[in-house]
Amino acid sequence: MAEDFSIEKAQASAWFRTLRNQIILTFEGLEASYGKAARFEVTPTTRADGGGGLMSVLRGGAVFEKVGVNVSEVHGALGERAQKAMAARGVPGMDKDPRFWASGISLVAHMVNPHCPAVHMNTRMFWTPHAWWFGGGADLNPCLEYPEDTAHFHSAMRAACDVHHPDYYAKFKAWADEYFFIPHRGRARGVGGIFYDDLNTGDWAEDFALTQDVGRAFLPAFVPLTERRLSTPWSDADREAQLIHRGLYAEYNLVYDRGTKFGLESGHDANAVLMSLPPIAKWT
């Protein structure tokens, strides 16, 4: 049986909000530096059975066509489908005590310039009376790939992992390559990054520290790529490629993404869960 973890839950939830605030300030500053005072619209979210969060979305900027940065802290009892999903992941006893608590940050950015890559980042902590774990990661989703941008992003993710274990980056990169693969298209969603889930080494502080370092690595991994590509001229063909790639992104999130499924099945605010969807997309 897992301990109550009240102190640890509070620390994790506070960290996700701190990271959210840092990212929002940086993104609004980036917009301002390119001549548009676009701001995030912040909406409280609720889960009927307990908890909620903040959905923060910026639309129509000079840099970001749409970017969402959500934080949540939810709790209650898992429904039957979610209990079965937990059991399938190796968590016993959920049918006897289905209580859960979860907190995390989720970010998806869809860019104006097709040369700027879309990006996703998520980190979270999950607790039940039977187990606790961390999960998350970040992955890059360019429609027009630049190998040097891919290398920079992966280098930042590797540095965050290497502080904690020499095998983490290779393991988490391979996990991302598998997780973000789209079977019905026979291709990856983007150029990868890192992904991990069910992380419980038995040392909560160490696993939390890794999760914090992954979060801290995000802005240095992503913002320089945006600054590098933002002034690159783009054509109608570039925009077409961007919109088609967004369709691919939407397919993945609606069909395969574990967080989307859990959010909807556990009764969280549907608008917040579906924040990741692009504002405009196309299919051929």
Residue 189 near residue 248, CB atoms below 8 Å: yes
Residue 66, classed as helix, strand or coil, is: strand
Q: Which residues pair with 125 in a beta bridge?
A: 103, 134
Task: Count Cβ atoms within 10 A of the Cβ of residue 218 and give its class: 0-12 exposed, 13-18 middle, 19 or more buried.
Answer: buried
Residue type, 214: V
Tokens of 126: 């999950």
Instruction: Give the torsion sign (CA, 246, 248, 251, 253).
Output: negative
Catalytic residues: 120
C-alpha distances out from residue 145 to 26, 102, 242, 284, Å = 24, 35, 11, 20
Fill in the amino acid letter for 168.
Answer: Y
